[in-house]
């Protein structure tokens, strides 16, 4: 075998073995004259199925109608070769995107003897490009839609800063909130929105640094509008690609909310101050009055005890003594209320005898009950241990309830009941008095409130007693309430939590 035959054989085997390219020959009319492995893999035909057939079998019907296969051959013959990318058809009818090169072949005499056609399947690349183009179109659409949406937002200033902090976009909300138009502000550094103090402290630069460091920066603070006025703004700065592509800045005007907060804080401070001044005034005036009043009570009592007085003078002395004691009670209520409002009331926790507290209350109220011919009875469970709480405040609450019961009862009597309920201590004071309507019961515990105006005029008092009693009970961790019906009497009760000593005392019997 000579050298030419050897080279020809090698070339033949080389072409036949190529798998990634369809390499085959066409005769001058375009009929397939050879077929390699790559052509079989790309187009699906075996060599015996395709050799002798016209290469237009690889083209779509539309391409064949416009005689595109023949056009390719004519162009290859005219220019020596023809190249393009386009859709081709496999044996099974499926399409693939192909890169094709057709080269006109001539013998040594220059006579045209056919064509060499090389085809490569680029379907995967085509699909990837289509996906990329689709994604780019979708992204462009999304960006365009987002840009339109952002530009239309009026309640938020939304704009982009370049990596150095200069403004590159501006929406309607930014113009409305800050006052600058896009033409006036784009290109300027965003520090223009900050106070001179903030700029001197390099706070704008700090915000960008923190946004890059933490992925976002948020704060509320004062900003400056175009006209120099200040607004209270909620600010969020988000870096784009770590800040290398700039920042997105969102600002919301919260000036009205901040103004309301400041007004509320000022009003609260004024109310606290007014309340403090009122409490101080009540405390001061009460102290100023109590000193001379104590003297009047003492003198009134001494005069009333003089057996040598005529009946008219004695009655006047008793009236002076009783009235001054009543006035002292009112002053004590005012003073206690002022202390409660000022937060100057503390609670002790000491062991005390429940019976002794009840005895004290009986001693202070028995005379008044006898004057009105009312029975005053006590019902205490046997062997009650000493209770740990504030005995002075317990006595004050129980005394107030018994005095009220006597005041509003004209016939019958009052019962004091005490028992232990688990870890709690329960007190109740029941009377047979005028009772209280349901719709007025809650008002009784409000300062300066009584059942109604006629009750206030008829029975007197400040309307502070029950309010003070309730606050004392709550300071001790307990609860105070009542059960009542008009003309059927009332039961006021309070429960105190606390501990009991192991020692016991004997009740009244």
Residue 219: name the closest of 197, 171, 248, 252 by CA. 252
pLDDT of residue 425: 92
Mark whether 203 and 162 lie in a shared domain.
Answer: yes
Per-residue pLDDT tens digits for 458-488: 445 556 788 888 989 999 999 999 998 888 8
pLDDT of residue 16: 59
CATH number of the domain to which 319 belongs: 1.10.287.130
Distance of CA 125 to the CA centre of its chain: 50
Between residues 328 and 125, the one the model is more confident about: 125
Mark whether 455 and 475 lie in a shared domain.
Answer: yes
Mark whether 425 and 469 lie in a shared domain.
Answer: yes
Instruction: Quote the DSSP letter at residue 215.
Output: S
Instruction: Quote the DSSP letter at residue 103.
Output: E
The model's confidence at residue 3, banded by pLDDT at 50, 70 and 90, is very low
Mark whether 493 and 360 lie in a shared domain.
Answer: yes
* Domain containing residue 375: 350-504
Per-residue pLDDT tens digits for 64-117: 999 999 999 999 999 999 999 999 999 999 999 999 999 999 988 889 999 999
Per-residue pLDDT tens digits for 291-318: 777 777 777 778 778 777 788 887 887 7
Mark whether 241 and 370 lie in a shared domain.
Answer: no
Mark whether 405 and 472 lie in a shared domain.
Answer: yes
Per-residue pLDDT tens digits for 266-282: 888 887 777 777 667 66
Among the three residues 297, 317, 341, which one is the final residue of a domain in this structure? 341
User: Is residue 457 in a domain?
Assistant: yes
DSSP one-letter string for 407-450: HT-SSSEEEEEEEEETTEEEEEEEE-S----HHHHGGGGSTT--
Residue 414: name the closest of 459, 456, 484, 365 by CA. 365
Q: Are 126 and 97 in contact (CB under 8 A)?
A: yes
Number of domains composing the chain: 4
Between residues 10 and 123, the one the model is more confident about: 123
> If you average pLDDT over every residue of the chain, what do you get?
83
Among the three residues 228, 253, 278, which one is the final residue of a domain in this structure? 253
Q: Provide the sign of the torsion angle of the four alpha carbons 184, 188, 190, 195, taken in this order.
A: negative
Among the three residues 99, 121, 143, which one is the final residue of a domain in this structure? 121
Mark whether 368 and 499 lie in a shared domain.
Answer: yes
Between residues 297 and 506, the one the model is more confident about: 297
The model's confidence at residue 448, banded by pLDDT at 50, 70 and 90, is low
Residues in CB range of 439: below 8 A, 6 or more apart: none
* pTM across the whole model: 0.43
Q: Are 402 and 418 in contact (CB under 8 A)?
A: no
Angle between helix 465-475 and 391-407 (nearest 10)? 150
Q: Are 248 and 160 in contact (CB under 8 A)?
A: yes
């Amino acid at each position: 075998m000579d050298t030419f035959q050897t080279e020809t054989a090698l070339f033949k085997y080389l072409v036949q073995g190529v798998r990634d390219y369809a390499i085959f020959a066409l005769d001058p009319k375009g009929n397939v004259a050879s077929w390699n492995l790559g052509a079989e893999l790309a187009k699906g035909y075996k060599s015996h199925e395709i050799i002798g057939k016209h290469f237009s079998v690889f083209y779509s019907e539309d391409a064949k109608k416009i005689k595109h296969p023949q056009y390719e051959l004519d162009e290859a013959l005219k220019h020596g070769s023809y190249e393009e990318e386009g859709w081709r058809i496999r044996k099974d009818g499926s399409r693939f995107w192909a890169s094709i090169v057709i080269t006109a072949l001539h013998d040594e005499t220059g006579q045209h003897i056919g064509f060499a056609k090389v085809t490569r399947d680029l379907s995967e690349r085509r699909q990837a490009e289509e996906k990329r183009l689709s994604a780019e179109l979708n992204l462009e659409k999304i960006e365009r839609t987002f840009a339109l949406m952002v530009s239309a937002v009026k309640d938020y200033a939304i704009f982009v800063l370049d990596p150095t902090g200069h403004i590159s976009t501006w929406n309607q909300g930014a113009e409305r909130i800050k006052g600058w138009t896009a033409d006036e502000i784009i290109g300027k550094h965003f520090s223009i929105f900050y106070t001179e103090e903030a700029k001197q402290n390099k706070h704008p630069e700090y915000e960008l640094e923190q946004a890059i460091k933490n992925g976002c920066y948020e704060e509320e603070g004062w900003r400056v509008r175009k006209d120099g006025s200040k607004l209270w703004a909620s600010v969020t700065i988000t870096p784009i690609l770590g800040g290398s592509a700039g920042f997105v800045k969102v600002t919301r005007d919260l000036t009205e909310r901040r103004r309301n907060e400041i007004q509320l804080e000022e009003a609260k401070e004024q109310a606290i101050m007014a309340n403090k001044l009122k409490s101080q005034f009540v405390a001061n005036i009460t102290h100023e009055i109590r000193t001379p009043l104590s003297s009047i009570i003492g003198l009134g009592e001494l005069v009333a005890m003089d057996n040598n007085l005529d009946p008219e003078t004695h009655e006047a002395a008793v009236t002076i003594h009783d009235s001054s004691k009543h006035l002292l009670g009112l002053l004590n209520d005012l003073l206690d209320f002022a202390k409660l409002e000022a937060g100057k009331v503390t609670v002790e926790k000491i062991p005390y005898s429940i019976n002794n507290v009840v005895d004290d209350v009986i001693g202070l109220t028995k005379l008044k009950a006898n004057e009105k011919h009312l029975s005053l009875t006590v019902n205490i469970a046997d062997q009650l241990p000493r209770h740990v709480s504030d005995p002075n405040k317990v006595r004050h609450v129980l005394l107030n309830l018994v005095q009220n019961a006597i005041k509003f009862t004209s016939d019958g009597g009052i019962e004091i009941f005490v028992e232990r309920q688990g870890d709690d201590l329960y007190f109740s004071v029941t009377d047979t008095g005028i009772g209280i309507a349901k719709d007025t019961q809650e008002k009784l515990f409000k300062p300066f409130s009584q059942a109604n105006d006629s009750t206030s005029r008829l029975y007197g008092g400040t309307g502070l007693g029950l309010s003070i009693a309730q606050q004392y009970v709550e300071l001790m961790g307990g609860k105070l309430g009542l059960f009542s019906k008009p003309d059927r009497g009332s039961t006021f009760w309070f429960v105190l939590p606390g501990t009991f000593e192991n020692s016991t005392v004997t009740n009244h019997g």
